Structure 1
Amino acid sequence: MAWGRPFTFQRSLLGHRQLLWRLVEREVAGRYRGSMLGWAWSFLTPLLMLAVYTFVFSQVFQARWGDLPNAGPLGFAVNLFAGLIVFNLFAECTAQAPNLILTNANYVTKVIFPLDLLVVVNVAVACFHALTSLVVLALFELLAQGRVPLTMLWLPLVWLPLIGGCLAIGWSLSALGVYLRDISQAVGVTLSMLMFLSAVFYPLSALPERWQPLLALNPLVLIIEQTRRVAVSGLHPSPGYLVAGTALALVACELGYRGFQKARRGFADVL
């Protein structure tokens, strides 16, 4: 593999785009095959989650969003759910990554297969679930606020750093998971901690000023804040975030992909 040519992961994805589409289609359909409600579960699950959050925070905790005290409990639920969509996308990709190669060992030992696509399929399926959750969020905003911000159309660009980061972390963890079986346990603990350190249940502005710069070092915080900005508040995303975040995500993807390709040479010996 030539290190002088940039963005080799893009050429791999484009070269296997038809296979990638088939794998994603099979994975999404396979998750609901045999169930009575089928694809309806992809909408029913986030809808039930949103209903529970709305009840708990509006009736039990009487909660209000930090920088929007007049938004009421429904505003709290909308902001909370927007953050959860981002975090759940990241958590779904990251939690499964360490075992991707281990659970598909037959692709390593018996078949010539582009193993890097397993990570892409994992991320694509997580994105599908996130998109269905976004539909639920938009419907809830329409009912609660009477409008859906047009700035939600910025979300594909806002999520580019998130998707790129998920791919980079997925390639890295899936490769490490072959050699270090404890990785999956460490990832589970880390995700539990990150859920409370990623401004999911509160806005960044609700923290004391001395802690805000420290928490802002967590990339998920920036992505969640920008998601709320365009999907809930109706504001345009930060240009600096879009440029810097996308550039860093591309670099991270390239490093993660090349590291995966280098590590895969030993997969067959380990498995």
Structure 2
Amino acid sequence: MALVWVLAKREISAEYKGTALGRLWSLINPLATIAVYAAVFGVIFRGGVEPGINSHVQSFALYIGIGVLCWGYLSRVILNGMNAFMSNAGLLTKVYFPRYVLILASTLAQTFNFLFELLALLIVCALVGGPLVFLYVPFLVPVLIITAAFGTGLALMLGIATVYFRDISHLWEIFTQVWMYASGVVFPLSMLVAAQDSLYEKGISFKGQPLPLDIIFRINPAELLLEAYRAVFYDFTAPPLEVWLGSIAWTLVNLLFGILIYRKFQARIVEEI
């Protein structure tokens, strides 16, 4: 565990090394992201989103901003984790230690950086919707743990796959763009339902019923995780039970397969690199 902390601290220190503002960028970046989306989606492209359950906030820009920041964290955990073996090839060939430590350290470093983004997001939500949001901050702890565990499990699988098949990293870049839009990062479920009904009216159906786009959308693990964050930050409420159960189920499956694949192929990592 001590090695995980050492490697994580190295990655954290390197994040903003040489910059004038240093760690302040962890607050500035998410605020800038929210500002950009507020301008683009709140002013130029106005979309429809339901008011928050307890917050009564109705801001398409904030809704999307939450999705973008939280998706960014999940994406970085997976991407940095899957590249951890290749990025530390020199270290792996010189010193022996459990290989999974590199992925755990990467996840820990990304989680540490994300805490600053959550702080900035919390401040924005409190200013927009009021201090009620602070009552639901404790729910962020298990949601964050579930997100980190889900991303780590996927990173273990992809990290091993990248060592053996270098094209995986390029394929992932394409897939992750599709996955982002399929996770509702930049649109709410209500828009998908409207599109589903519109297609049905045009005669596009499945067994005489509207296409089950909303069902497919809801079983997406990333969408469930984003819904959990939005419940806290946008609705000022606890994530629904089905979100908890779905997220935990996906995470356990991911971790199980990640561990199994890692154990099967980790012995030849150095040779393949």
Deviations, residues 38-89 of structure 1 (Å, cap 9, x unaligned): 111111111111111112222222x2442239845xx222211111122111
Structure 1 residues 188 and 171, CA, compared in 2 at 3 Å: closer, same or farther?
A: same
- Aligned to 2:229, which of 211, 227, 230? 227
User: Cα offset for 1:231?
Assistant: 2.1
- Alignment match, 1:11: none
The equivalences for 1:1-271 within 5 A come to 16=1, 18-61=2-45, 63-68=46-51, 71-72=57-58, 75-149=59-133, 150-208=135-193, 210-271=212-273
Worse overlay, 222-231 or 201-210: 201-210
Structure 1 residues 30 and 204, CA, compared in 2 at 3 Å: closer, same or farther?
A: same
Equivalent-residue separation in structure 2 for 1:244 and 1:138 (angstroms):
25
Worse overlay, 134-143 or 183-192: 134-143
Equivalent-residue separation in structure 2 for 1:197 and 1:248 (angstroms):
16
> 2:81·2:107 contact (CA, 8 Å) conserved in 1?
no
Residue identity in the other structure for 2:111: C
Equivalent-residue separation in structure 2 for 1:212 and 1:247 (angstroms):
19
User: Cα offset for 1:169?
Assistant: 0.6
- Alignment match, 2:199: none
> 2:57·2:128 contact (CA, 8 Å) conserved in 1?
no
Worse overlay, 162-171 or 234-243: 234-243
> 2:16·2:23 contact (CA, 8 Å) conserved in 1?
yes
User: Cα offset for 1:126?
Assistant: 1.9
Equivalent-residue separation in structure 2 for 1:195 and 1:248 (angstroms):
17
Structure 1 residues 45 and 212, CA, compared in 2 at 3 Å: closer, same or farther?
A: same
User: Cα offset for 1:207?
Assistant: 1.4
> 1:152·1:234 contact (CA, 8 Å) conserved in 2?
no
Instruction: Point out where structure 1 has 5 or more consecutive residues left out of the alignment.
Output: 1-15
Residue identity in the other structure for 2:50: D
What secondary structure sits across from 1:34 in the alignment?
A: coil
User: Cα offset for 1:183?
Assistant: 0.4
User: Cα offset for 1:37?
Assistant: 0.9
User: Cα offset for 1:247?
Assistant: 4.7
- Alignment match, 1:7: none
Residue identity in the other structure for 1:197: A
Structure 1 residues 184 and 215, CA, compared in 2 at 3 Å: closer, same or farther?
A: same
Deviations, residues 66-120 of structure 1 (Å, cap 9, x unaligned): 2239845xx2222111111221112112223332211211233221122101111
- Percent identity among equivalent residues? 26
> 1:67·1:206 contact (CA, 8 Å) conserved in 2?
no
What secondary structure sits across from 1:193 in the alignment?
A: helix
Give the alignment's TM-score, normalised by structure 1: 0.85
Give the alignment's TM-score, normalised by structure 2: 0.85
Deviations, residues 160-189 of structure 1 (Å, cap 9, x unaligned): 332221011111111111110000001100
What secondary structure sits across from 1:242 in the alignment?
A: helix
Say what the alpha-carbon RMSD is for the aligned residues.
Answer: 2.0
Residue identity in the other structure for 2:264: K
Equivalent-residue separation in structure 2 for 1:82 and 1:128 (angstroms):
18
